Amino acid sequence: MPPLPADSLALQLAVAAEAVARVRVGQALNDGLVSLWQAYPELPPASRAAVQDIVFGTLRDYGRADAFLGRLLRQPLTAEIVDGLLRVALYRLETRPDASHTIVDQAVEAAARMAGGNFKGLVNGVLRSALRDWSALVGAADAQDESRWRHPAWWLRALRKHYPQDWQAIATAGNSHPPMSLRVNRRRWTLAEARAALDASGHASTVLGERNPWGLRLDEPMPVASLPGYAEGKVSVQDWGAQQAGLLLGLANGMRVLDACAAPGGKTSHILELADVDLLALDAEPARARRVTQQLDRLGLSASVKAADARRPADWWDGRAFDRILADVPCSASGVVRRHPDIKWLRRSEDVARFATLQAEILDALWPTLARGGKLLYLTCSVFPDENGLQVQRFAARHPDCKRAPMPDGALERQWLPGTGHDGFYFALLEKT
């Protein structure tokens, strides 16, 4: 049987199905996509973009296909790739109803070339049954919380418990397309130059805040590689919430600064754009530490970068205290799930407690390296209190020399929930007395 055309919807559905199948067996989406691009070099850029759109949409719709397939199949499929194909095809049917017959035909074409072609008839029958009973399928799916709100049941219970007034808005934001925000490298460009270059390329932008005159949000997203000034290190892609970290540290020239969990390097580079500091950036994984170095090289910045575990200062600390520490600790990433929709599929309820334990270990290890009068900014991209406010309360109780320092607005902590302008983040500034 001849291969599928490189620009066909059938091939896009087949590759997207493989990506979804990989996530369902535990692989991170970014890793899966990298390996798939290598496996399908014939995919043109437009097809890659289409595959990514289908994959992200399918994964954002957690629980949706489960509700559909529960009514369409007599028993769950054991062939992961065929299960993935049905999921991406059903997502496409719901979002592109005007092309429903083309989607079914192309999905059947894809099925003919996977799993020995043994599921071609099943895929055809399931999708045509879906078209006949679409209204009933959607009604049944909307009656189930996981499918209606597109989050795991344990996640929804946690949101209801901690945010009884806001849980629906948080879930809705987690299913949406994220905004694309930029940070202008003040050492290489002005805000006016950045906006003029964007305007010339046909991309309007909005200035994000008076306190940070270097942040922009694009009215419409665009490929990173096409961003004016990106290759020259004049601009970076960074969420508006993430840009708060460097601002809240209260940096000054000459400070000694530690970025304890630095990869991929966005906050590291922002610190260096804001002040002339002596900065050490750590990441436990060598490959991720290399990404920090690559980011700094692109922006024309310099720091000491080490592949080391923040919990083991003996491996990386020279005994000189830091004036500022950024502890952007590993977390559930529940505040950035719209950017990383595989998180819904990979996280389990017990992971929150596991991350909380890891965070406590990192904080306890970092605290002795902070100078008296120095400040540590504790930061997560989570919305779960066990990783945020409760974590900070427990830490302060263990360390009598820890004082909750006010942020510029006077607050002792800041919980940003994901919304139209930024992702979900938590911030707390801790001073060593």
Active site residues: 381
Closest CA to 261 of 372, 376, 395: 376
Distances in whole angstroms, Cα of residue 155 to Cα of each of 162, 283, 306, 401: 11, 28, 35, 35
Chain CA centroid to CA 342, Å: 9
| CB-based contact 367:427 (threshold 8 Å) | no
* CA–CA separation, 14 and 109 (whole Å): 9
CA–chain centroid gap for 87, Å, is 22
Contacts of residue 290, Cβ cutoff 8 Å, sequence gap at least 6:
none
Query: CA-to-CA distance for 192 and 306, rounded, in angstroms?
Result: 35
How many Å apart are CA 246 and CA 173, to the nearest integer?
A: 25
Peptide bond into 406 cis (omega under 30): no
Which candidate, 349, 411, 343, 418, places its Cα nearest to that of 383? 418
Give the long-range contacts of residues 396-401, CB within 8 A, separation 24 or more.
396/430, 398/364, 399/367, 401/432, 401/433
Where does residue 333 fall: left (phi above 0), alpha (psi -120 to 50 degrees), or beta otherwise? left
Report helix, strand or coil for 62. coil
